[in-house]
Amino acid sequence: MNSFTHIVEEIKSIVSEKFGGKKVFDKDVADALGVSQMNFATMKKRNKIPYSELLDFCASKSISINWMLYGQSPESLIEATNKFYMVRFFDGISASAGGGSEIETLEGAQISIPYEFAQILGGERELRNIEAINVSGDSMEPTFSYNDIVFINRAKTDLGRGGVFTLRTEAGLFIKRVQKRIDGKLDIISDNNIYVTQTLDPNEVEVIGRVVSRFGEVD
């Protein structure tokens, strides 16, 4: 897979025409991807590729995501990129990035995702573990926003390395960043720093699955 730096240089080349020959900076790439300069700098430092934003960028420019990530030519992907996959979407369920939400219905619909996005979610083999739900609230901004659709891998429930998870507590269903403490307790963290970190015992938390990606609001 291409590195973050390589992808940034490709994006600079793609958007350079818009700048009339002037130098394209990292902040211009951040704008093109729709992420803040602070988040972009953090991603670059960690070599963390913003897959969802990159997918949106490629779609807007009619560019193959596989070419951007792996250097694969579009011609070699014609058959694969015509494929679409279905993922269970519980549109009546909202996991709160704020004050807690309840499950309103257990009836799931189906949402269609393209081949490229299926690869981001882990490929065809992982799709059986993937479910999609809505986001409500603002405590995980800017990572997730109200009405985002998030994709959860229900097979990934190990909190040992931390990450963003969908959790059920007595207060409802939440999307939060989780870190396991040395004493065994869990720090439940909001990315929006106006919210305080909570600390819970593991037996107070049911881990539904790891949040692996998102879509923006769908009309």
User: Do residues 179 and 211 share a domain?
Assistant: yes
The boundaries of the domain holding residue 74 are 4-81
pLDDT tens track for 111-156: 778 777 888 888 888 898 999 888 888 888 888 877 788 899 999 9
pLDDT in tens, 25-73: 999 999 999 888 888 888 888 788 887 788 888 878 877 776 777 676 5
Specify the CATH number for the domain of residue 27: 1.10.260
Q: Between residues 8 and 81, which one has the greater pLDDT?
A: 8
Which of residues 60, 81, 102 is at a domain's end?
Answer: 81
Contacts (Cβ under 8 Å, ≥6 apart) of 42: 48
CA distance 177 to 142: 13
* In a shared domain, residues 65 and 89: no
Global pTM?
Answer: 0.61
* One domain for residues 176 and 141: yes
Number of folded domains that form the chain: 2
Burial class (CB in 10 A: 0-12, 13-18, 19+), 187: middle
Q: Where is the domain boundary, 81, 102, 125?
A: 81
Instruction: Determine the pLDDT at residue 4.
Output: 85
Q: What local confidence, expressed as pLDDT, does residue 104 receive?
A: 40
The closest alpha carbon to 206, from 182, 186, 192, 191, belongs to 186
| Both tokens assigned to 210 | 């790891």
Report the distance separating Cα 135 and Cα 175, nearest Å. 8
User: Are 88 and 75 members of one domain?
Assistant: no
CA 39 centroid distance within chain: 14
- Indicate whether 192 and 102 sit together in one domain: yes
Q: What is the pLDDT of residue 65?
A: 72
Do both 119 and 200 map to the same domain? yes
Mean pLDDT across the chain: 81
Question: How does residue 16 score in pLDDT terms, banded at 50, 70 and 90?
Answer: confident
Q: What is the DSSP letter of 119?
A: H
> pLDDT over 70 for what percent of the chain?
83
Q: Tell me the C-alpha distance between 30 and 34, whole Å.
A: 6
User: In the prediction, which pLDDT does 130 show?
Assistant: 92
Confidence of residue 106 (pLDDT cuts 50, 70, 90): very low
Q: Distance from CA of residue 37 to its chain's centroid?
A: 18
Whether residues 94 and 158 fall in one domain: yes
Say if CB 127 and CB 85 are below 8 A apart.
Answer: yes
What pLDDT score was predicted for residue 205?
92
Average pLDDT over residues 195-208: 93
